[in-house]
Structure 1
Amino acid sequence: MASSTLINIPAASLENERARWNAIYKVLTEPKPEIVPTPRQAIWRKNKSVLWHYPAAEKKYETPLFLVYSLLNKPYILDISEEGSVIGNLTKMGYDVYMYDWGTPGLEDRNITLDQYVTNYLEMSVRHALRHSRAEEISLVGYCLGGTMSAILASITDLPIKNLVLAAVPLDYSTFILPEKWVKAIQDGTLGFDQLTDAYEVIPSQFLFAVFMALQGFNIGPNINLITRGHDPKYVDKWRRMDKWMKDSVSFSGAAFKQMLKEWYKDNKLVKGEMIIGGKRMDFGNIKCSLLVITSTRDELVLESQSLPIMDLVSSEDKTYELVEAGHVSICLTGQFAFAVDPWLSSRSKVMQPN
């Protein structure tokens, strides 16, 4: 007589499986999560761009922070959730925070150059932040290409920048994350995107998203993580917010795109000090303020070697380099970036005096 064996599956395992597949169904069928920003006020607008002010919960420092994110992505990764908000954590630490949102250019913006983005947009917005805050000095905090633009501005402006923080910032384009043959082809001019740029005039967000994914090797890791950790509600919420942000790309001015590829990627003018911005030759040697450079161990988009050269190019006497355990995006997604910069900034920011 044949015997049968019953498999006893623990109730907890069944509950986890239900939670896992319910979460996956939710991701596939429900609208993207709503991103509720830290309390803020728009204090200046120019074209598509907005300067936001996030007041400190209890103001501890007179020196405000001015955050600059990449031109290629939307900046709400810095304020993605209440728990993981870089901006929210900084305001809780006592900083008044300003954040510049470049906006998404339309066809009418196709001729905006990097020069104009630096001088007509970024520099003007910092001036407005200084006026609004009534502060004597400001800390400029740039991330990724926002750091590149911040470093360029700091090298040509007369604004009172007390501290400069550059995180995951690409400055040296002698090498970058692309197949070696592609790097050489861009540098010798045999590979270019002029025809694409001329055809579209403004680079479509879909193209930039495809490039972003290709640079990460079309990483399927996050999808696998969702399946394996779908029973964890906190992880699923964070995954859905990240997924929304990654797919919510921006377009890019054709003129700025051409200039970036030629002057940065091909000619490497930034570290050579050969780029002309607003009629001025930029030179990182003009930077004398306190400098913090941060790179991360698992950065899949910006090489450490692209950030480090500025340490030797600036004239700053107070300069610090930190390597943190994180990825290019995860350091913002988790809010870790706020805790990475606070110890350095807090000792270099003017403390509020009691009334």
Structure 2
Amino acid sequence: MSEQESTLDRVRREIERTGQRARNGIRLVTGGATTPTGQTPKTTVWTFGRAELWHYSGNAQYGTPILIVPSLVSRSYLIDLTPGNSFIESLVDAGLDVYMLDWGVPDERDAANRLEDYVDLAIPGALEQIRRRSRAESVNLLGYCFGGVLTLLHAAHHPESPLRSLSVIACPVDFTRLGPLVDIMGRTELDVDELVGEDGNVPASVIRQGFRSLSPMGDLTNYVNLLDRMWCADFVAAHQMMTRWATDHIPFPGSTMRQAHTMLVRDNGLMNDRIELGGDRVTLRDITVPFLAVLGTRDTIIPETATAPVMELVGSKEKELLRLDGGHVGLIVGKSAQRKTIPTIVDFLKQRSETHS
């Protein structure tokens, strides 16, 4: 190809991309580029206040179900983002029997919720419903982000819980290593009541601002990247979905925040065995089931230094740490997750699941 032909090709490509940028920009501004999330077929099989237990439809080849527990501060649809880019869809396609405990949106009725309501009531209730429906003796439990903290506390407070295994993804245990994210939980010298709104909960806007403090230039960088790739419809759709999720936080129950501020932030209780639930001292050494921890070495929300110590805290003899070169969301969303994280988690769960006879 001559230099002149090469230049003409570049010009034609740029003209074509200019048209694509215009079309994608119009779709973005008018909302036409919105892609539906949470599309894996499911049914609601149990409720607990605002929380719902979802069962995902599929041809389950394994008789040991899995219960996924998402974070309390973000919408759960990140875990079932879009067809072809869904953690849950991948688990279902692998033949696993998948459930998720979605927390819903807290309101004034949830302001008095404490960690015990999630750790000692909601999770056990969901496990019992799953065992009853599936007729399984045990369940694989998996927690993402703060949902991981809830699953750790449940397994530690209830060593008799019918768990086959426990997995946590991007789960903090050393809260002194969270840096700006501690702003969400309230710095040690802050009166948590200053964060609480009229409904008794920490407003979603406060949660959102705390996450923004992790990357003050994040919005600008995102828009620069968007402008540069506006010609690519797939990139625009993915950008819109992730921007939506990253700003789509939900309120945090006030009483739970007070406990988290005292035990997790001020006392760094997971590291120092200073967690008390229902009058009981709780230690992660009491977790003895097979254990998997997944972390991202480029996670700016829950840094590696905040997650890795969990391996020294849990009492399980069979435990594995998976370090991946990725960020907080990239552990379960995107091409890298589809290639690395998800297959490893699927393999871990399959090895701890009974096959249907």
Alpha carbons 1:33, 1:244 under 8 Å: kept: no
CA spacing shift, 1:198–1:205, aligned 2, 3 Å = closer
1:168 counterpart = 2:167: no
Distance in structure 1 (CA, Å) of the matches to 2:181 and 2:319: 33
Specify the SS of the correspondent of 1:271: helix
Residue 195 of structure 2 corresponds to which residue in structure 1? 196
* Alpha-carbon shift at residue 25 of structure 1 (Å): 2.9
CA spacing shift, 1:173–1:237, aligned 2, 3 Å = same
Tell me, which stretches of 5 or more residues in structure 2 are unaligned? 1-6
Alpha carbons 2:181, 2:214 under 8 Å: kept: no
Alpha carbons 2:201, 2:251 under 8 Å: kept: yes
Distance in structure 1 (CA, Å) of the matches to 2:115 and 2:98: 24
* Alpha-carbon shift at residue 339 of structure 1 (Å): 2.4
Alpha carbons 1:216, 1:301 under 8 Å: kept: no
* Alpha-carbon shift at residue 10 of structure 1 (Å): 2.1
Residue 3 of structure 1 corresponds to which residue in structure 2? none
* Alpha-carbon shift at residue 279 of structure 1 (Å): 2.9
Specify the SS of the correspondent of 1:333: coil
Alpha carbons 1:17, 1:231 under 8 Å: kept: yes
Residue 296 of structure 1 corresponds to which residue in structure 2? 296
CA spacing shift, 1:241–1:49, aligned 2, 3 Å = same
CA RMSD of aligned residues (A): 2.2
Distance in structure 2 (CA, Å) of the matches to 1:198 and 1:24: 37
Alpha carbons 1:46, 1:121 under 8 Å: kept: yes
Give the alignment's TM-score, normalised by structure 2: 0.89
Distance in structure 2 (CA, Å) of the matches to 1:237 and 1:196: 34
Counterparts of 1:265-304 in structure 2, within 5 Å, are 265-304=265-304
Distance in structure 2 (CA, Å) of the matches to 1:192 and 1:266: 12
Residue 248 of structure 2 corresponds to which residue in structure 1? 248
Q: In structure 2, what residue type is equivalent to 1:115?
A: E
CA spacing shift, 1:17–1:101, aligned 2, 3 Å = same
Distance in structure 1 (CA, Å) of the matches to 2:38 and 2:71: 20
Which sits farther off after the overlay, 23-32 or 68-77? 23-32
Q: In structure 1, what residue type is equivalent to 2:356?
A: M
Q: Number of paired residues?
A: 342
Which sits farther off after the overlay, 136-145 or 24-33? 24-33
Distance in structure 1 (CA, Å) of the matches to 2:36 and 2:205: 22
* Structure 1 segments of 4+ aligned residues over 3 angstroms from their partners: none
Distance in structure 1 (CA, Å) of the matches to 2:38 and 2:296: 27
Distance in structure 1 (CA, Å) of the matches to 2:317 and 2:38: 40
Residue 4 of structure 1 corresponds to which residue in structure 2? none
Which sits farther off after the overlay, 276-285 or 83-92? 276-285
Distance in structure 2 (CA, Å) of the matches to 1:250 and 1:85: 21
Give the alignment's TM-score, normalised by structure 1: 0.90
CA spacing shift, 1:198–1:267, aligned 2, 3 Å = farther
Counterparts of 1:228-247 in structure 2, within 5 Å, are 228-247=228-247
Alpha carbons 1:293, 1:322 under 8 Å: kept: yes
* Alpha-carbon shift at residue 20 of structure 1 (Å): 2.0
Counterparts of 1:142-153 in structure 2, within 5 Å, are 142-153=143-154
* Alpha-carbon shift at residue 175 of structure 1 (Å): 2.2
Distance in structure 2 (CA, Å) of the matches to 1:21 and 1:225: 16
Q: In structure 2, what residue type is equivalent to 1:172?
A: D
Residue 44 of structure 1 corresponds to which residue in structure 2? 46
